[in-house]
Amino acid sequence: MTKKLYITTAIDYVNASPHLGHALEKIQADVVARYHRSLKEDVFFLTGSDENSLKNVQSAEKEGISTEDLVAKNADVFKNLKKSLSLSYDEFIRTTEERHIKGSKKLWLACKDDIYKKKYTGLYCVGCEEFYKESELQNGLCVEHKTKPELIEEENYFFKLSKYQNKIKELIEGDKLKIIPKKRKNEILSFINSGIEDICISRSSERSRGWGIDVPDDSSQKIWVWFDALSNYINALGYADDEDNFKIWWQENENKLHVIGKGISRFHAVYWIGMLMSAGLSLPSEIFIHGYLTVANQKMSKSLGNVVDPVELVKKYGTDAVRYYLLREITPTEDGDFTYEKFEQRYNSDLAGGIGNLLARTVTLAKKPVFNNLKPTEKIKSETEKYKKEYNDFLGEFKFNDALKSIWELISHCDKYINEEKPWEEKGNSSQVISDVLFSLGEISEILKIFLPETSEKIKLSLEKTESIILFLRLTK
- Residue 447: inside a domain, yes or no? yes
- Residue 307: inside a domain, yes or no? no
How many structural domains is the chain composed of?
A: 1
Q: Taking 70 as the threshold, does the pLDDT of residue 93 lie above it?
A: yes
- How many angstroms separate the CA atoms of 37 and 5, rounded? 9
Mean pLDDT of 84-107: 98
User: Which DSSP letter does residue 141 get?
Assistant: B
- Residue 458: inside a domain, yes or no? yes
pLDDT top residue among 303 and 466? 466
Preceding omega of 181 cis (within 30 degrees of 0): yes
- Residue 358: inside a domain, yes or no? yes
Q: Taking 80 as the threshold, does the pLDDT of residue 178 lie above it?
A: yes
- Residue 400: inside a domain, yes or no? yes
- How many angstroms separate the CA atoms of 257 and 261, rounded? 13
- Residue 473: inside a domain, yes or no? no
Burial of 140 (0-12, 13-18, 19+ CB in 10 A): exposed
pTM exceeds 0.85 for this model: yes
Contact between 223 and 201 (Cβ < 8 Å): yes
DSSP-derived pairing of the beta strands 336-338 and 12-13 = unpaired
- How many angstroms separate the CA atoms of 21 and 292, rounded? 7
Mean pLDDT of 205-215: 93
User: Which DSSP letter does residue 137 get?
Assistant: S
Mean pLDDT of 400-413: 98
Q: Taking 80 as the threshold, does the pLDDT of residue 304 lie above it?
A: no
Contact between 328 and 404 (Cβ < 8 Å): yes
pLDDT at site 119 = 87
Give the N- to C-terminal CA distance of the chain in Å, as an integer.
55
| CATH code of the domain containing 357 | 1.10.730.10
Mean pLDDT of 331-340: 96
- Residue 72: inside a domain, yes or no? no
- How many angstroms separate the CA atoms of 185 and 169, rounded? 10
- How many angstroms separate the CA atoms of 68 and 72, rounded? 6
Contact between 257 and 299 (Cβ < 8 Å): no
C-alpha separations of 101 from 213, 293, 335, 432 in Å: 7, 32, 34, 63
Please report the sign of the dihedral spanned by the C-alpha atoms of residue 448, residue 334, residue 133, residue 140. negative
- How many angstroms separate the CA atoms of 471 and 320, rounded? 10
- Residue 425: inside a domain, yes or no? yes
pLDDT at site 303 = 63
Which of 246, 267, 270, 242 is CA-nearest to residue 256?
246
Q: Taking 90 as the threshold, does the pLDDT of residue 390 lie above it?
A: yes
Mean pLDDT of 383-396: 96
pLDDT at site 293 = 94
Q: Which residues are catalytic?
A: 19, 22, 125, 128, 142, 145, 299, 302
Write the pLDDT tens digit of every residue in 273-294: 999 999 999 999 999 999 999 9
Q: Which domain holds residue 352?
A: 339-465
User: Which DSSP letter does residue 138 get?
Assistant: B
Write the pLDDT tens digit of every residue in 218-277: 999 999 999 999 999 999 999 999 999 999 999 999 999 999 999 999 999 999 999 999
